[in-house]
Amino acid sequence: MSNAGDEKIIKEEIADLLRTLVSVPGVTGFEDSIRQKIISLLPPTGARISTDNPGNLYATVPGADTGRDGHLRVMVCAHMDEVGFVVNNIDDRGFIFLYPLGGIPEYLGPGEWVTLHTDKGDIQGCVGIHPPHLAVPARREIFADVGARNREQVQQMGVITGTPVTFTRHFQQLGNDRVMGRCLDNRMGCAVLVALLRRLAANNIEATVTGVFSTTEEHGMLPVSGPARVYGARGAGVAAMNLRPDFAVVLDSIVCSDIPGIPPHLRQVRLGAGVALRLVDDLAIMRPKMRAFLKEVASAAGIVLQEGISRSYTDASVIQLADVPVATLGIPLRYAHSPGQIADLNDIVQTLHFTTAIVQKVNLYK
């Protein structure tokens, strides 16, 4: 394990990566800007860079030359998209109606500041709210106001049907190694993957590792508060078919249940208590052999694990369909899919150490 001085340096590196990554929009299906930003962070890794039609980003670091025939092929995947909205319609008074992409809680939106990402540049606005002074129907539409007087003024700003929209929130360091940001789900995973790729060559790892920054993971989860209908990720499925890896690791968030309102018997994952194994969700179940392997690797590396069960899905749901053994790691996160998500840098650093240990020991998975 690293000493205290090394841990501080790694935490600063992760915080800097998060500050950079959270500042760039990447609504699911509109990941071009965040993909270009990640590419700009990869030259020090020496990785071979490529993309595909769905917009996935591949960064491959060849395995060390050990004199053996062939290398195991390991896919480490982190989705780079985020939940958000697209413009659905613009009425004649200049109000902009929004269509949610991803599982945004239905009570979120009204009163929030938003940024509309047009080809002409970013436009600021807010999601309209019905104040208590007005009698309104039970069903309330989600609409944005950018200060325009009519549809023509909105269109002159570059806003059209299909324009992606994000909450206007960025990255903030809090006390006690806690951080807050709009899309820590899953820029945390992206930060870990960038940091991992930076270290692979120096760690003399035998396996050939391809980091996949995947697209459209969030697309498919409906914006409801109850049990969600889910369809699974898409970008990672294409990546798995293209790479045909021998082993895969998925880096994603896992919701913390250590907040008010959660009954004690449902509290599993705590913020600041370390990386978690995502054992079960709506579309994937970790195989017992994989669970045993990961716990053995963690024990040897001195890493304390949490274990949890979650609704929804991750990229593992589609990678497994390519007949690939998948280790799904969850980075604890409070308030997922909201404008103010909170994580602990120590959990993120532990995820980096654990992922490094896994790719170093992957040849022991049998």
- What's the CA gap between 64 and 203, in Å, rounded? 9
Sorted by where each starts, the structural domains of the chain and their CATH numbers stand as 4-82+170-364 (3.40.630.10), 84-167 (2.40.30.40)
Token couple for 117: 């990402």
Mean pLDDT by 10 residues, the chain (366 residues): 80 97 96 97 91 97 71 95 96 96 83 96 93 72 95 97 95 95 96 96 86 93 55 86 97 94 90 96 92 97 94 91 96 94 98 97 92
Q: How far is CA 75 from the centre of its chain?
A: 16
**pTM for the predicted model, two decimal places:** 0.93
Positions annotated as catalytic residues are: 217
pLDDT of residue 285: 93
Task: Kindly state the DSSP code that residue 363 receives in the 8-state scheme.
Answer: G
Binding residues for Zn(2+): 79, 185, 218, 252, 337
pLDDT of residue 108: 81
- Report the side by side order of strands in the sheet with 57-61: 48-51, 57-61, 208-214, 73-79, 247-255, 326-333, 276-280, 306-309
pLDDT of residue 2: 65
Token couple for 239: 């990546």
The C-alpha angle 279, 54, 318, rounded to 5 degrees, equals 25
pLDDT of residue 283: 87
Task: Find out whether 97 and 109 touch, Cβ atoms under 8 Å.
Answer: no
pLDDT of residue 223: 56
